[in-house]
Amino acid sequence: MSEPLRVGIAGLGTVGASVIRLLERQAGALAARAGRAIVVTAVSARDRSRERGVDTAGLAWYDDPVALARSEKIDLFVELIGGDEGPARASVEAALTAGKSVVTANKALLAKHGMALARLAESNHVALAFEASVAGGIPIVKTLREGLAGNSIERVYGILNGTCNYMLSRMELEGLSFEACLADAQKLGYAEADPTFDIGGFDTAHKLAILTSLAFGTAVDAEAVHVEGIESITLADLKSADELGYRIKLLGVAQRTAQGIEQRVHPTMVAKSSAIAQVMGVTNAVTIDADAVKELTLVGPGAGGEATASAVVADIADIAKGIRSAPFGLPVASLEAAARIPVQRHEGGYYIRLAVHDRPGAAAAIVTRMAERQISLESIMQRNPPAKRGAASADKPVPVVLITYATSEANIREALEAIVTDGYIAERPQVIRIERE
């Protein structure tokens, strides 16, 4: 059996401690599969006195993760610090420059610096592995990079943020308000004290940028992703979706189009009959549309110490076996620039909720504005109409829901701008895209 693979871990939070436990628990099986033992020899963390549930007494301890990354005591550096700059970036760069392979779970770092880090790994003939950066324990990186190498992929989309999926699930099933759901998610540790990164869609955008590169051979470019969060979703939207046979999910979608690869993150209505609509709570799911396998959906835990550690250890095991894939599937020089396609060019069906003043001619004016932009309406629903018209009801807004056939985002926006200008609606229109199967 070959010499042991000596592993250094920077970051001993929930995931880091879980990685150590998993490597110890599966030591025999991993050694048999890799042909060599895998041993943690050194660690780095800010607080040496903190109780982590793992024994670090026999390990070399580094206060500076960059020093650990350069240490001769390790062969492989595992970065679990987090953040796109600071110690995380500096230590990963140091390890790659020193000729050490790197395993990371850091999607923010990869979304911002993935191409530069991949070039550094290539030039030093080492691995940069990041299975844990997207969808937790779901092996989506290896699936796209290796498992589907013989496929041409048309679309990859999924639920990539457990916080948002948990909140939308509870709002739908229990009738809780957005604010109540968010407060509960924060109490349970599913949402941060400042939840903007999650509920604003930015976490999903970083993960989608990585998946897009793997699926379509493009350079990682998080700035090319159109991003909307779930802050505007109301119980009225969820109820209407239910009546129409849909569920609302925050999806990350990357799709091949005639103009290039479209990348977008936004609340989406998906048919209840679809596999992804069944995914509730903090679970993640990714669906891939490809020519040979047709449709493939992977579902599993998107976060948590054990699930994320599973993905980290899978990468460590590959490196122990001597497997070194191009980080994003192709050499960096072969990756194409991701076209920044404006979301206005997106074509699909739309759900539109309007608060319409109950005045003569309002409905006709709205339909006319839609027709002027060649928008065909699949259905119109008026909810809770006044019992009879009178002075008291004349200015009371009536909820009206429109479902369109496929049209462009630009047409929708232009029609709604005209409707707002006409003065027939009382508040900002709600627009949710419909993702067809």
| Residue 409 reports pLDDT greater than 50 | yes
395 pLDDT above the threshold of 70 = no
Which structural domains are found in the chain, ordered by start? 5-133 (3.40.50.720), 142-301 (3.30.360.10), 345-435 (3.30.70.260)
Is the predicted pLDDT of residue 29 greater than 90, yes or no? Answer: yes
Q: Which residues contact 8 (CB under 8 A, 6 or more apart)?
A: 40, 41, 42, 43, 44, 62, 68, 69, 71, 73, 74, 76, 77, 78
pLDDT at 249 over 70: yes
The packing angle between helices 235-243 and 162-174, to 10°, is 70
pLDDT tens-digit profile of 119-155?
999 999 999 999 999 999 999 999 999 999 999 999 9
11 sits in the region (left: phi over 0; alpha: psi -120 to 50; else beta) called left
Which residue's structure tokens are 């890799």?
Answer: 34
Place 325 in a pLDDT band, splitting at 50, 70 and 90: very high
Distance CA 67, CA 95 (A): 9
pLDDT band at 353 (very low <50, low <70, confident <90, very high): very high
Can you give the pTM of this predicted structure?
0.93
Beta-ladder partners of 355: 399
- Give CA angle at 373 (368, 379), nearest 5°: 60
Q: Which of 207, 239, 249, 272 is catalytic?
A: 207
Mean pLDDT of the chain: 93
Q: Cβ(116)–Cβ(299) under 8 Å? A: no
Count the neighbouring beta carbons within 10 Å of the beta carbon of residue 173.
Answer: 11
The question of whether 207 is a catalytic residue gets the answer yes
- Would you place residue 386 in the very low, low, confident or very high pLDDT band (cuts 50, 70, 90)? low
Could you report the per-residue pLDDT of 170-222, keeping only the tens digit for each? Answer: 999 999 999 999 999 898 888 888 999 999 999 999 999 999 999 999 999 99
Query: Residue 51: is its pLDDT beyond 90?
Result: no
Tell me how many degrees the CA angle 81-84-90 measures, rounded to the nearest 5. 70
- Please check the confidence at residue 318 and state whether its pLDDT lies above 80: yes
Q: CA 371 to CA 415: how far, in whole Å?
A: 9
Q: What Rg do the C-alpha atoms of the chain give, in angstroms?
A: 25
pLDDT at 7: 98
